Structure 1
Amino acid sequence: MPYKDSYVAKIREKIGHDFKLIMPTSDVVIENDAGQLMMIYNRDFDGWAFPGGYVEPELSWPENAAREVLEESGINAAADDLIAIGMVSGPDYQGHYPNGDVTQLFSNIFLLQNWSFESDMIDESEIDGKKWVSPQDIEAMHLTFSGRAVYQIYRHYKITQQAQILTTSSQLQRFVDAQDGKVTAVSDYVSAVAELSAGQKQTHWMWFVLPQLRGLGSSERARYYGIADATEAKFYLVDDLLRQRLEKVLNVLLSLETTDPVAVFGQVDAKKLQASLTLFAYVAHDKSLYQRALEQYFDGKQHQETLDLLAQTVS
């Protein structure tokens, strides 16, 4: 349903745009016979997501979900064929719209595997396109905040066949989830420590184990796991789990009998190490651990692009 005709639009007409609405929503993961998932490009949030939207009061949860599937993907779904696979909510599960509207979302997630017809018609009032994507390719796509949460619910269900209640209580949770192995096609924190203890990074984990400032990389993972600014870097160190894990990695690096970061990380990731050390040395109350690592691997030289970005955010 176009926004101008929706229940939310009618509420906004009465209360204006300065009040944060609490809204129930539904999202649907649709599978085809090839194991691909239907993704739609949401204009409001400038990213790929799963079909979904606000719940209209005259319909049930499954009926609302089936309606969104038809409007946003062109797939005709029966409400009875939708399988409930999880729920998402939490302080950070909010929709921030280009016009300044903010909604606090509470979403039921459904899986649709049985369907027979797909048309090319979609609701172009908010959707710019749709396409079928393999699960392994989704990790490299620019997903919306809801797209990431829904995909995590889906992955959990495929592994366990059990519904999940997901609470997004902190933006830093993205690092914990990745370090705990909840992201496909990458390694986890335990693997990172094991590889570094053996003297050489072997697999993919740099973005979320030794994070750097957002803006230094252009890939989806560099943007998603990029630290927003000095404030978020400080919060990272305030989090006991993330700080302790970071300190353990640095102590492993300091114990190696080498001063060559390229030998441990390779040419590209050596620069990322320097950027990460520079960032946390900048914000840490006790800078000694980060400075020792900079001394051992970079003769104390900091990463200039990181310093430039930090200077921009401070000014």
Structure 2
Amino acid sequence: MGRRIDYYDDPNAPRANSLVPSVNVVVENHKGEILMIRRTDNDNWAVPGGAIDLGESITQAAIRETKEETGIDVEITGLVGIYSDPKHVIHYTSNDEVRQEFSIVMAGRPLGGNLSSSVESSEVRWIPFNDIDSLSLDQSMRRRIGCYRSEGVVTVHL
């Protein structure tokens, strides 16, 4: 399995060769904990997410990716933000793809299911907000969770 390497405004970063719309989901439970995964490609913590497949909506991708990576069924409740900084590129070493960031971050609430890891997630946990600062996260993920925490959610009809 290849690795994922994130670069931020780095003059030595490889040049982007793709742009793939993706989705991330901040799922908060009734205890105020956030659903997080430990990624297998870089060992960092993140909220679930991934590429939007052809033929699926943003909401469908968000629900699918969350279920695949965590075992949890979710309902999408709104939009956190859209992140498309061309200074942030993601290098996937398995195929030498270098993506320019383009992530739509949604908010969700859990409906059911059981925590389970996957090929993409070595660990899945509900994490209290206060514990997130001590975890190893890429700065883009930390920013997305921070936006959710400070700015809230925009209700949208998708």
Indicate the TM-score class for this superposition, using the shorter chain for normalisation: 0.7 to 0.9
CA contact 2:25–2:62 (8 Å) conserved in 1: yes
- After the TM superposition, list the runs of 4 or more consecutive aligned residues in structure 1 that deviate by more than 3 angstroms: none
CA contact 1:50–1:150 (8 Å) conserved in 2: no
CA contact 1:87–1:108 (8 Å) conserved in 2: yes
AA aligned opposite 1:89 = S
**Aligned residue among 80, 85, 88 for 2:80:** 85
- Confirm or deny that 1:97 pairs with 2:92: yes
CA deviations over 1:96-144 (Å, ceiling 9, x no partner): 223343111211111112x32122333x222111111111110111002
- Map of 2:33 onto structure 1: 36
**Aligned residue among 99, 107, 111 for 2:107:** 111
Deviation at 1:37, TM superposition (A): 0.4
Q: Which runs of 5+ in 1 are unaligned?
A: 1-17, 164-315
**In structure 2, how many angstroms separate the alpha carbons of the residues matched to 1:97 and 1:36?**
30
**In structure 1, how many angstroms separate the alpha carbons of the residues matched to 2:120 and 2:93?**
12
**In structure 1, how many angstroms separate the alpha carbons of the residues matched to 2:78 and 2:88?**
22
**In structure 2, how many angstroms separate the alpha carbons of the residues matched to 1:98 and 1:146?**
19
Deviation at 1:19, TM superposition (A): 6.6
- Map of 2:151 onto structure 1: 157
Deviation at 1:162, TM superposition (A): 5.0
Higher fraction of helix: 1
- Map of 1:50 onto structure 2: 47
Larger CA Rg, structure 1 vs 2: 1
Aligned residues: 141
Q: For 1:1-315, what aligned pairs fall within 5 Å after superposition? A: 20-78=17-75, 81-99=76-94, 100-113=96-109, 115-122=110-117, 124-158=118-152
**In structure 1, how many angstroms separate the alpha carbons of the residues matched to 2:44 and 2:34?**
15
3-state secondary structure, aligned to 1:103: strand
CA contact 1:62–1:82 (8 Å) conserved in 2: no
- Map of 1:231 onto structure 2: none
3-state secondary structure, aligned to 2:101: strand
Deviation at 1:155, TM superposition (A): 1.9
3-state secondary structure, aligned to 2:73: coil
Higher fraction of strand: 2
Residues 19, 33 of structure 1: alpha-carbon distance in 2 compared, 3 angstrom cutoff = closer
AA aligned opposite 1:104 = Q
**In structure 1, how many angstroms separate the alpha carbons of the residues matched to 2:41 and 2:97?**
11
Structure of higher RCO (CA pairs closer than 8 Å, 6+ residues apart)? 2
**In structure 1, how many angstroms separate the alpha carbons of the residues matched to 2:81 and 2:114?**
27
TM-score by length of structure 1 reads 0.41
